[in-house]
């Protein structure tokens, strides 16, 4: 299983280091990933960047590119998160980032997920929506991980149901053989059940992962 923590805009350099130090005392067979904010990036094999501009460097105010990310030896990145999409990142731009970091052989945690109005329409509408978010994405890319994160489940405390996760992951499995993570209000109480679903290869966790003790306990429950 792959268990990943997306810090979003939480934690500082100091608290990220404390988090990683404590996490390193845990032995687990699972693959762990941590995506801190860019100010807290550090040389650690489980750390990835939350974002990256599709260029080595240049005049892109407030962005970070390959030069800044790889200074830490980091070769992992999270792309397509719904919060970035809500900030206005188009599918075309996200696909450009994907291509850029793919060409640099980065491990890419690629996020997709539908809004509530689409989920309310039908299962077919959800799959059609997710397929749009996979446009321009090489589903054969060796270092690809896909995180299915319904927008309405992110940070709301309301996870998708087991049946919703199962049917969506089954449909995604028909499109790719890459690891499929679920994200959206995963917590201590539901992580074991979610990870036990067929075609769920792990979880991407926001809120419930920011406390290192809780994150460690979640890893242990999987
Ligand atoms: C996320 O934003 O990637 C996420 C899964 O958040 P949360 O766990 O808080 O729903």
pLDDT of the residue at 105: 98
CB < 8 Å & 24+ apart, contacts of 13-21: 13/39, 13/40, 13/42, 15/40, 16/40, 16/42, 17/42, 18/212, 19/212, 19/215, 20/44, 20/46, 20/47
Q: What is the pLDDT of the chain when averaged over all its residues?
A: 98
3-state secondary structure of 172: helix
Q: Is 81 a catalytic residue?
A: yes
How many domains does the structure of the chain reveal? Answer: 1
The pLDDT, as a whole number, for residue 136 is 97
Average pLDDT over residues 204-222: 98
- Tell me whether residue 103 is exposed, middle or buried, using C-beta atoms within 10 angstroms of its C-beta: 0 to 12, 13 to 18, 19 or more: exposed
Q: Answer for the pair 169, 158: CB distance below 8 angstroms, yes or no.
A: no
Nearest to 154 by CA among 91, 206, 215, 77: 206
**Is 183 a pocket residue for ligand 1 (Cβ < 6 Å)?**
yes
What is residue 41's predicted lDDT score, i.e. its pLDDT? 98
**Given this model, what pLDDT does residue 103 score?**
98
Q: How confident is the model at residue 25 (pLDDT cuts 50, 70, 90)?
A: very high
List the 107-112 sheet strands across, edge first: 31-35, 2-6, 202-205, 179-183, 144-148, 107-112, 76-79
Confidence of residue 198 (pLDDT cuts 50, 70, 90): very high
> Cα(188) to centroid of ligand 1, in Å?
13
In CATH, what number is assigned to the domain containing residue 144?
A: 3.20.20.70
- Give the pLDDT band of residue 79 (cuts 50, 70, 90): very high
For ligand 1, the distance from its centroid to the CA atom of residue 58, given in whole angstroms, is 31
Domain, as residue range, for 86: 2-221
Question: At 201, is the pLDDT very low, low, confident or very high (cuts 50, 70, 90)?
Answer: very high
At residue 14 the predicted structure's pLDDT band, cuts being 50, 70 and 90, is very high
Distance of CA 157 to the CA centre of its chain: 17
In short, whether 133's Cβ falls inside 6 Å of ligand 1 is: no
pLDDT at 134: 98
Select from 82, 154, 156, 187 the residue to mutate for testing ligand 1; criterion: most ligand atoms less than 8 Å from CB. 154
Residue positions counted in the chain: 222
pTM score over 0.95: yes
First to last CA, the chain: 8
164 lines ligand 1 (CB under 6 A): no
- Active-site residue flag, 11: no
Note the pLDDT of residue 160.
97
C-alpha–C-alpha distance, residues 111 and 8, integer Å: 14
Tell me how far the alpha carbon of residue 86 lies from the centroid of ligand 1, in angstroms: 14
- Please give the average per-residue pLDDT across 66-72, as a whole number: 98
Q: What pLDDT is attached to residue 10?
A: 98
Question: From the candidates 107, 114, 149, 164, which is the catalytic residue?
Answer: 149
Contacts of residue 101, Cβ cutoff 8 Å, sequence gap at least 6: 52, 54, 66, 77, 79, 108
Q: What confidence tens digit (pLDDT) does each residue in 122-141 have? A: 999 999 999 999 999 999 99
Residue among 219, 138, 126 at smallest CA distance from 166: 126
């Amino acid at each position: 299983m792959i268990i990943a923590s997306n810090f979003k805009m939480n934690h500082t350099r100091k608290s990220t280091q404390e988090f990683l130090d404590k996490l390193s005392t845990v032995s687990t067979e699972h693959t762990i990933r941590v995506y801190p904010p860019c100010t807290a990036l550090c040389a650690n094999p489980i750390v990835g960047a939350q974002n990256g501009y599709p260029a080595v460097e240049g005049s892109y105010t407030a962005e970070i590119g390959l030069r800044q990310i790889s200074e830490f030896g980091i070769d992992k990145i999270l792309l397509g998160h719904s919060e970035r999409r809500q900030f206005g990142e188009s599918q075309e731009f996200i696909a450009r980032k994907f291509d850029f970091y793919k060409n640099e052989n980065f491990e890419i945690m690629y996020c997709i997920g539908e809004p509530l109005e689409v989920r309310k329409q039908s299962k077919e509408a959800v799959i059609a929506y997710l397929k749009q978010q996979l446009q321009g994405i090489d589903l054969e890319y060796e270092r690809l991980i896909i995180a299915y994160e319904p927008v309405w489940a992110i940070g709301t405390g309301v996870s998708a149901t087991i049946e919703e996760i199962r049917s969506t992951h089954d449909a995604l499995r028909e499109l790719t053989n890459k690891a499929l993570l679920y994200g959206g209000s995963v917590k201590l109480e539901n992580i074991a059940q979610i990870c036990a679903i067929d075609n769920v290869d792990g979880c991407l966790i926001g809120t419930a992962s920011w406390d290192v003790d809780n994150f460690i306990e979640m890893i242990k429950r999987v």
